[in-house]
Structure 1
Amino acid sequence: MTYVAGFVAAVPAANKEAYAKHAVEAAPIFKEFGATRMVEAWGDDVPDGKVTDFKGAVKAKPDEVVVFSWMEFPSKDAHNAATQKIMSDPRMKEIGASMPFDGKRMIYGGFATLIDDGARTKPGYVDGYLVPVPNDKKEAYRALAQKAAVVFKDHGAIRVVEAWGDDVPDGKVTDYKGAVKATADENIVYSWVEWPNKQARDEGWKKVMADERMQPGQNAMPFDGKRMIYGGFAPILDT
């Protein structure tokens, strides 16, 4: 089953090209050690939230843009083996010495897929989500996510992935738990929806919101939606 390494970072808008170059240089190394896919997506439609949002998650400054990125591995073992090799590889140390963003505010973690529904192609647009879910609501969340994935795909989405927190460390400055104000009995879901392009996403969302299968009376949400984080992102790298 696919294992996901998920990241969220704040990057100065002026450093977009430098960040893309940094990602392009690192991608072959990650793939060499077992990553099957690496995606970097630049914040495009990232709204402010009343309780939580992506900007607050990484303490983004006014001149910074949120980047939502992930790597996919065949399994957790493959991810762990790759991580050990990458951390000791001199090429990564050289790349890491000149990161065009504040790595101390980047949040990261390992996630095991709950659902992975759809075709694996290169999307033109991505919706990203972070969700706090009570540990005892895992299966209820999975069931709801499976139903929602069908609706999204019916209205133009290419692929829907929901991944359950497996190795989500506490951070000194920022972390996933703080991002969604998770309580002690909650875990983090890292999720995304892939679309052909932004227009398809905008049109698809209108249809999703109007679909009776998504109406509040049809589904009891097994999590606090007020603390869910979401935003739209444009891929700048997709290996």
Structure 2
Amino acid sequence: MSCVQGFVIPVATGKRDAYLAMAQMAAPLFLEYGASRVVECWGDDVPHGTLTDFFRAVAAEEGETIVFSWIVWPDHDTAKAAEARMMEDERMKPPEDMPFDGKRLIYAGFQEIYDGGQGGPFGYIDGFLAPVPIASKEAYLDHARTMTAIVAENGCTRGTENWAEDIAEGKVTDFRRAVQLEPGEAVVFSWLEWPDKATRNAGMGKMMEDPRVHALDMPFDGKRMTYGGFVPILDTAN
């Protein structure tokens, strides 16, 4: 299974083009270092939650939009080796006028544990962060398989689940705080891929009315799950 580096970033809404330009410059370098895919998704339908949400996850300020992004690597060792190369590569030097506050960006390394669906190009995603008891990993996988099969009936083309293996502890923000992680839990970084927003809206609506969904036992605390809808703005696979 692949290694996934997941990111959640607070970007000044008015600096979308500057952020995209920076991402377009960096993506080919990640591929040069050995990554197989780089994806950047711009916040579109990101709700505010009662306990957790993407805005709290990065201490977002007024006038900022959430970016949900990931880099896929063939394995953990390749990802780690790339980090060392980045530190020495002048081409990776950040611009003086950064379009986001790097101190509030959160990132971590994850191991892919499930990949279901036909995949291919997509025009919309739902991104999720979930706190899952380590002892319930297999139950969570069963839940993910069932849910992916249900949303696939309603137009979703792919679902993927990624289990935290390397979470950096941040001074201001990090993935642990994002889901109020408790002892004995791991963070899962996951997403669903859809052809477009209209298909997603219709598909999610049907899913919420599906009795099979309501009959499922939740192997994690859904009240602390963080989620939102995003539009891809960069995908090196397309």
> Normalised by the shorter chain, which TM-score bucket?
over 0.9
Residue 228 of structure 2: aligned partner: 231
**Secondary structure, aligned partner of 1:8:** strand
Residue 84 of structure 1: aligned partner: 84
Q: Which structure shows the higher helix fraction? A: 1
Distance in 2 of aligned mates of 1:154 and 1:222:
23
Matched, 1:13 2:13: yes
Unaligned residue ranges in structure 2 (runs of 5+): none
Q: Give the deviation of 1:96 after TM superposition.
A: 5.2
Write the deviation string for residues 68-99 of structure 1: whole angstroms up to 9, x where unpaired.
Answer: 00011111122122222122211102x35442
Matches within 5 A, 1:15-34: 15-34=15-34
**Secondary structure, aligned partner of 1:144:** helix
Matches within 5 A, 1:102-113: 102-113=101-112
Q: Give the deviation of 1:22 after TM superposition.
A: 0.5
Q: Give the deviation of 1:192 after TM superposition.
A: 0.3
Amino acid paired to 2:6: G
Write the deviation string for residues 101-120 of structure 1: whole angstroms up to 9, x where unpaired.
Answer: 10000000000011111233
- Closer, same or farther in 2 for the Cα pair 1:121/1:87, shift >3 Å? farther
TM superposition score normalised by structure 1: 0.96
Amino acid paired to 1:224: D
Residue 35 of structure 2: aligned partner: 35
* Farther-moved stretch of structure 1 (175-184 vs 204-213): 204-213
Percent sequence identity over aligned pairs: 49
Q: Give the deviation of 1:43 after TM superposition.
A: 0.4
Distance in 2 of aligned mates of 1:70 and 1:107:
11
Residue 176 of structure 2: aligned partner: 177
Segments ≥4 residues shifted beyond 4 Å: none
Distance in 2 of aligned mates of 1:115 and 1:98:
38
Matched, 1:58 2:70: no
Residue 126 of structure 1: aligned partner: 125
Residue 142 of structure 2: aligned partner: 143
Distance in 1 of aligned mates of 2:34 and 2:209:
41
Matches within 5 A, 1:153-168: 153-168=152-167
**Secondary structure, aligned partner of 1:104:** coil
Distance in 1 of aligned mates of 2:226 and 2:60:
14
Unaligned residue ranges in structure 1 (runs of 5+): none
**Secondary structure, aligned partner of 1:70:** strand
Aligned-residue Cα RMSD (Å) equals 1.1
Amino acid paired to 1:234: V
Amino acid paired to 2:80: N
Residue 68 of structure 1: aligned partner: 68
